[in-house]
Structure 1
């Protein structure tokens, strides 16, 4: 088992920019493409994801420190530390259930495709760590029941795939991503309540008239309403809230403007490589199974490039910090996952059709719920970390994460299994 774990860890260490092109190349061959065409698509997609993750790194490396500086400046004192998704992922892959997650998840996805219970072929293998997370939670909850852990992981995967199917038309219509779905565990969790809440807001008199999206802002403010300048102004505001000096404030402003401008262009390159694969998949499935409906499941990074997603996330960073302070019963100090807010609000923004006002309102409610869930699950999250020999930050003995500790679907599954343990 240790050898199997090590083998999978070596594979995962290659990172999504290598794993995804390999998966796409193999899929291209499976769907009858010539080697040259499949290879070109795979390399193009790999290059696109290199660009996407470079822009994501630019976002995270600037937004993360600014958000953390804001937390320190305000002087928040809470005893559960949000260690962020990178720590949660490494802890998950080091759990006793991790070695079985990838083969089991692939098998489940294939069976669901064959039985037409999903339309998503999820090639985002690296993000299977979300399945490993809930599996590990239930493993420690059940005092080491591998069966319960794997059942929990499969339940989470099924929910992810079904929500990916549900939201795929939105990705095509609003994000201009035809044939694409997103089954990323952190993103889908905010869709369950987030999308219905958006629909509700749109029916409430007065609130339904509140509207602000990049096109509306540009219509009112001209050149200064372009997404480039929206990123600049929001970045500058964040720098001021973080207490940065003039140089650092200007730097984060320019960086956020760059994210707004570059991310959509990287996604266009991705679609250039993905469309031939998507077309081949549809033809293959129609010929053999009588269906053309197939979505390629990708990382949620493909959806965060929309200006409204970034704008909503930047506004929600200081709101999250304030929520942590004022919510009675919350013990989580937002930290590591403040920079991942774009990922968890993407579907909310899509459902709101880019309306930043509605997206911020719903995002605020959902993050408040996440803080409470992350607080409740912190002891088990910490048990996972101790098992993985993770170094708990000084000054606390409990950790959690907004990304997965505050994940609604995870939390429901965790509570379900709590009834039997």
Structure 2
């Protein structure tokens, strides 16, 4: 067992820009893609991944630093540190639960795809960290390692179910056929967005507002352009952070650059994935009785969309304002501010790409995340303690983007029902999967 864990830790240690191309190459070969084409698909995905990471590093290094400076100036009364979800992966994969989940997830996923219980073949190994993190929360609550492993397995089942449920609309909106987003932080927001958008549809006046990125550009010209919006937001943040003129200008240009470059990097990523997605469809048609197979990927594929990026940037000042005035909140958005896009990106299709709806809906969603991340702070702090992970502070820590309903669900269920409740989550998910399979089968027969 120790040898297996060491090998998996070595594999994860290669970094996502190395192991993801390897995974894509292997999956492509399994689906019958020619070795040369499979190799180039993996390399192209790797290049796109590096490009995305460079852009995100630019965003977090420039805007993120400025935001942290703002937070230090205006959020002194909020005493729970938002350490950010960026440490979630390193944390999860430094634990036995995180390492064990990789082979367990891949094995169960192949079985479930073969049985038709899920259409998602998840190759987004890096984001296995969040189901593992949920397992760590349960481990902290129950003080039982085995319960944590069981919880992480229930979490990956929930992840595939959500990916299946929302794949069609998300794929159509972003233009990614054969791709399912399996990033649970992003998927969780959809559950909130659907009923909220229904409410928006029934509010007179608001239901008539059409303000997507395209219409804004047509109506307001340069002032509606996402690059210009990025420039202005960067300048405003720089001013509030107390930067000098050079710093303000640099931050504005960096933010504008992110808005321009991000879609191009996403396009590169998709260029490498499309041959694999097409081969997966053909493979499923020939060998799985026509069952559809979607390749599970990171939400990073969606963050280049104009409305996603515009909403994410505008949420920066909005989130700080909400955190400061929200009664009972103990968290100032800090480490997660530059990464809000990963928490809200999949809500955008359900808000119809409408920036006004997206801003209102995501702001309401942020309120729930702030309260949940405040409530979860003691448990999240305990997780870091159990993993012997140094967070550089002796106080409570949390992550705003981890303050989502799956985390609350698993902690509550584990606290009151123990392992039986955690197993129950997995069983309920399997029952729903089986029901959806029967619905799909009946639909195929009628067609």
Q: Does the alignment reach a TM-score above 0.5? A: yes
- Asked whether the equivalents of residues 260 and 306 of structure 1 are also in contact (C-alpha less than 8 Å), the reply is no
Are positions 1:278 and 2:280 aligned together? Answer: no
**CA–CA separation in structure 2 for the residues paired with 1:59 and 1:169:** 30
**CA–CA separation in structure 1 for the residues paired with 2:236 and 2:199:** 30
Task: Give the direction of change, closer, same or farther, for the CA distance of 1:358–1:2 in structure 2 (3 Å limit).
Answer: same
Query: 1:42 maps to what in 2?
Result: 42
Shift of 1:203: 2.6
Equivalent residue in structure 2 for 1:409, among 396, 406, 413: 406
**CA–CA separation in structure 1 for the residues paired with 2:375 and 2:223:** 44
2:296 aligned counterpart, secondary structure: strand
Unaligned segments of structure 1, at least 5 residues: none
Task: Give the direction of change, closer, same or farther, for the CA distance of 1:325–1:48 in structure 2 (3 Å limit).
Answer: same
Shift of 1:160: 1.5
TM-score with structure 1 setting the length: 0.94
Q: Deviations over 1:360-416 (max 9, x none)?
A: 11111111111111111111111111122222434x521111122x02112112211
Are positions 1:169 and 2:161 aligned together? Answer: no
Shift of 1:22: 0.6
- Asked whether the equivalents of residues 392 and 398 of structure 1 are also in contact (C-alpha less than 8 Å), the reply is no
**CA–CA separation in structure 2 for the residues paired with 1:214 and 1:18:** 34
Task: Give the direction of change, closer, same or farther, for the CA distance of 1:2–1:245 in structure 2 (3 Å limit).
Answer: farther
**CA–CA separation in structure 2 for the residues paired with 1:163 and 1:137:** 20
Query: 1:134 maps to what in 2?
Result: 134
Alignment of 1:19-418 (within 5 A): 19-146=19-146, 148-291=147-290, 293-394=292-393, 396-404=394-402, 406-418=403-415
- Asked whether the equivalents of residues 17 and 46 of structure 1 are also in contact (C-alpha less than 8 Å), the reply is yes
Figure out how many residues of one structure are paired with residues of the other and give that number. Answer: 418
Q: Deviations over 1:188-231 (max 9, x none)?
A: 11111123312321232122123322112111222343222122
Shift of 1:2: 4.9
- Asked whether the equivalents of residues 16 and 126 of structure 1 are also in contact (C-alpha less than 8 Å), the reply is yes
- Asked whether the equivalents of residues 266 and 300 of structure 2 are also in contact (C-alpha less than 8 Å), the reply is no
- Asked whether the equivalents of residues 309 and 349 of structure 1 are also in contact (C-alpha less than 8 Å), the reply is yes
- Asked whether the equivalents of residues 75 and 324 of structure 2 are also in contact (C-alpha less than 8 Å), the reply is no
Shift of 1:183: 0.8
RMSD, aligned CA: 1.7
**CA–CA separation in structure 1 for the residues paired with 2:202 and 2:254:** 37
Task: Give the direction of change, closer, same or farther, for the CA distance of 1:374–1:280 in structure 2 (3 Å limit).
Answer: same
**CA–CA separation in structure 2 for the residues paired with 1:214 and 1:98:** 39
Shift of 1:84: 0.7
- Asked whether the equivalents of residues 88 and 401 of structure 1 are also in contact (C-alpha less than 8 Å), the reply is no
Task: Give the direction of change, closer, same or farther, for the CA distance of 1:108–1:203 in structure 2 (3 Å limit).
Answer: farther
Q: Deviations over 1:229-257 (max 9, x none)?
A: 12212222222232322211211211121
- Asked whether the equivalents of residues 216 and 224 of structure 2 are also in contact (C-alpha less than 8 Å), the reply is yes
**CA–CA separation in structure 1 for the residues paired with 2:79 and 2:5:** 33
**CA–CA separation in structure 1 for the residues paired with 2:321 and 2:392:** 22
**CA–CA separation in structure 2 for the residues paired with 1:282 and 1:6:** 35
- Asked whether the equivalents of residues 238 and 251 of structure 2 are also in contact (C-alpha less than 8 Å), the reply is yes
Larger mean CA deviation between 189-198 and 342-351 belongs to 189-198
Q: Deviations over 1:31-82 (max 9, x none)?
A: 1122111111111111111112211211222221121111112143222111
Shift of 1:337: 0.8
- Asked whether the equivalents of residues 171 and 178 of structure 1 are also in contact (C-alpha less than 8 Å), the reply is no
**CA–CA separation in structure 2 for the residues paired with 1:363 and 1:294:** 31
2:177 aligned counterpart, secondary structure: coil
2:180 aligned counterpart, secondary structure: strand
Query: 2:434 maps to what in 1?
Result: none
